[in-house]
Amino acid sequence: MGDVLAGIHATWEFDTDSVLIRFERGIRTPKLFQSLRERRVPHTALSSVTLTPGKRGTVVLHAVPRPGADPLLEAAAGQLKAGSDPYRLVLPAEREVLAEYYADELRARLGPDAAEPAARFLVAAPEAPMQFKAYDGRASFDGDRISFRWFWTGASTAKWKAGDQTFPVTELCGVEWRSPEAFDGYLRLVPRGREGAGAGPGAGAGLGMSTASGPGAGDGAGTGTGTELGTGLAAGLLPMAPRPTRADQDPAAVVFGLGYGPVHESLPFAAAVLESVRRKQPSCATPAIVPAGAGRRDPADIAERIRHLGELHQAGLVTDDEFRAKKAQLLAEL
C-alpha cells in the first residue's frame, strides 16, 4: 500500500507485507507507547481488523494479533487496558471513511492461518539490555541473564537472606507478569521443570539458578559470589524445593508497588525475557500465566522488615525521612 494513516498518539505506515506503527513522544501519549517507540507488525501476525466507534467523536482502527504472535501481548496476558493497547489507532470521526478503506486493505492481506495461533513470535520484542526498579529490588536483563539486586529497605527477609539472584535464560521456561495496576503486581521467572509446580516454602538455591551467598551493602544489594546449581538439578543430584506461594517471598520474583515497576518499564522487560526464553528454549511453549491475586502480607514478615529498617536507621544508612516514609509504606501493607 505504501500509505500513512496518522491518528492520535500513533501513525501507521502500510507496507506490502507489514504495518509499521510509530508512536508519538508527546506528553499525552501513554508511557508504554513512548517506551515502545515503534513496532513492525507483519500481516501474517494478524488475525482480524475491526473499525468501531470510539469516545468523544473518534473511531478506533484495531488490528488484532494472532495468539502467540507478539511477546508483548503474551506477557501481558490480557491485563493491558484499552488505552494502552498498541494495536489500537484512535482517529477523528471525520476520518472514518479513510479508516474503513485501510481496514479493508488489511483484511485482504491477512494470511491463510489468521484464525490459528502462531507457532512462534512474529513481532519483535523490545531489545535488551534493559532494567527497571521494583519495590524490593532492581531487575536487569542483558539478553542472556536476568539479575535481581535486592533493596534492603524493601526486600523481604527471605530475599535479603537469599542474596542477589542471577538467572540464565537457558535455565528458564517462562515468565509471569502481574500488572502493577493490580493489587500485588509482580514479575516472576519460571525455571525449567517448574511450570505449574506446587507452591510452598523455598529459597533461591532450590530454584536451580545462580544465587549469591548473602546480602551486601552499598546500593542496597548483596554482593556475594554466585553458585551455579542448574547442572546439578538437571542431573537429578539436588532436590527441587516447591515454589513459594507469594512473590514477595520468592527470590525468582520482584514485586511492584506505587511508583515501582510501572507498566511501561516492567512489561517490555517481561516481553524481552519471554522472547529470549522461547528462542533459546523452543520446547518451552507454555503460555504466560495471569496470576491470581495474592493475600495481604504476613504481619510477622512486615514486623521483621520494620525491625531491620530501624537497624539501618540507627546505623545512619537510612535518613529520618526515608525511615518514616518506608515504615508507613510497610504498615500500609498490613
Q: How far apart are CA 250 and CA 148, in angstroms?
A: 11
pLDDT score, position 1: 58
- Decide: 305 and 255 in contact? Cβ < 8 Å: no
- Ranges under pLDDT 50 in the chain: 198-239, 287, 289-296
CB 37 within 8 A of CB 23: yes
Q: What is the pLDDT of residue 203?
A: 31
Nearest to 75 by CA among 280, 268, 253, 252: 268
Cell digits of residue 16: 506490502
**H or E segment to which residue 297 belongs:** none
DSSP annotation of 228 reads: -
- Cα–Cα distance measured from residue 13 to residue 20, given in angstroms and rounded to the nearest whole number: 5
Question: Per 3-state DSSP, what percentage of the chain is helix, strand, and coil (rounded to 5)?
Answer: 30, 25, 45
Q: Identify the helix (H) or strand (E) that includes residue 172.
A: strand 172-178
* Per-residue pLDDT at 220: 37
| pLDDT tens per residue, range 123-158 | 999 999 999 999 999 999 999 999 999 998 899 999
The cell numbers describing 58, all together, are 473518534
Helix residue ranges, H only, 115-212: 157-162
Alpha helices in 135-242 (DSSP H): 157-162, 230-234
* Stretch (H or E) spanning 325: helix 320-332
Name beta bridge partners: 190.
174
What is the torsional sign of CA 247, 250, 254, 259?
A: positive
Element (H, E) at 71: helix 71-76
Residue pair 44/244 in contact (Cβ under 8 Å)? The answer is no
- In total, the chain counts a number of residues equal to 334
On whether the CB atoms of residues 82 and 54 are closer than 8 A, the answer is: no
> 307: alpha, beta or left, given left = phi > 0 and alpha = psi -120 to 50?
alpha
- Asked if 245 contacts 199 with a C-beta cutoff of 8 angstroms, the reply is yes
Strand order in 130-133's β-sheet? 130-133, 137-141, 145-150, 165-168, 210-211
Side-chain-side CA neighbours of 191 within 13 Å: the count stands at 29
What's the pLDDT at 215? 34
Which residues 6+ apart lie within 8 Å of 281 measured at CB? 169, 170, 172, 173, 192
> What is the pLDDT, as a whole number, of residue 200?
36
Q: Report how far residue 209's alpha carbon sits from residue 65's, in angstroms, rounded to the nearest whole number.
A: 34
